[in-house]
Amino acid sequence: MVLFARVAVTCFIMLTCFGCKVEDQQWPQSVINSLWVPSEAQIEKKYHEGSYTIEYAARVCYPAKDVIDEMVKAMISKGWKRLGYGPLNPSVPLNHVLNKWNRGLDKNYRVEYGWIEFWEDNEKNIVEYRFVYQPAKGDIIIGEDCSLRGIISYIPRDVVNAMLDKIKEIEKDMRKGKTNG
């Protein structure tokens, strides 16, 4: 039950963040310096309630091994630590731990394949990388699928802590048997 609550809240928080509107916000240089974006990417910057997000599209064929390897090298060189589990859902291992892409459905019930990475700096800020493909034909992804969609989020420590506090509050309410209609 606690795992379900953690997954549900994590999904809600991430959907809220990724559904954010574009705001005219100056990004701090420290945020810009923390992120790696593929050179061939066409980007759109977003800001929402303290978090910074870049969405991009790039012509990179599945399984994007070179892009992922380049991201790993760049983040390590910037001093970030690669996490094995999501900070909001520490019971679920990430893709690089499992060494496989996840298959799921998007909000329109179309099949998509995703790869998620979380990185943490010494100050406990988080960067999330999400790589997504939708099969061009059918439900199976193949090497000819070359439309990579990426989402990169910089989540400051205070925002991460607020999310964790909210998860703890919901878990506590669930243990007490409270439900919100």
Can you give the residue ranges of every domain in the chain? Answer: 2-175
**Backbone phi and psi for residue 170, each to the nearest 5 degrees, phi listed first:** -65, -45
Q: 25 with 48: CB under 8 angstroms? A: no
Cβ atoms within 10 Å of 174's Cβ, excluding its own: 15
- In this prediction, residue 91 carries a pLDDT of 86
- In this prediction, residue 178 carries a pLDDT of 63
Q: 94 with 116: CB under 8 angstroms? A: yes
- In this prediction, residue 123 carries a pLDDT of 94
Amino acid at 17: C
| DSSP 8-state secondary structure symbol assigned to residue 138 | S
- Give Cα separations from 10 to 4, 24, 73, 75 (angstroms): 10, 26, 27, 24
pLDDT, averaged per 10 consecutive residues of the chain (181 residues), comes to 43 42 69 91 90 94 95 96 92 91 92 96 96 89 88 95 88 76 51
Cβ atoms within 10 Å of 159's Cβ, excluding its own: 19
- In this prediction, residue 49 carries a pLDDT of 85
Closest CA to 81 of 125, 37, 38, 32: 125
Residue with tokens 């892409």: 101
Q: 96 with 82: CB under 8 angstroms? A: yes
Q: What is the DSSP string of 20-88?
A: PPP---PPPHHHHHH----TT-EEEEEEETTEEEEEEEEE--TT-HHHHHHHHHHHHHTTPEEPSEETT
Give the span between the Cα atoms of 12 and 124, in whole angstroms: 22
CA triple 83-86-89, angle to 5 deg: 145
Residue with tokens 């703890």: 168
Cβ atoms within 10 Å of 66's Cβ, excluding its own: 11
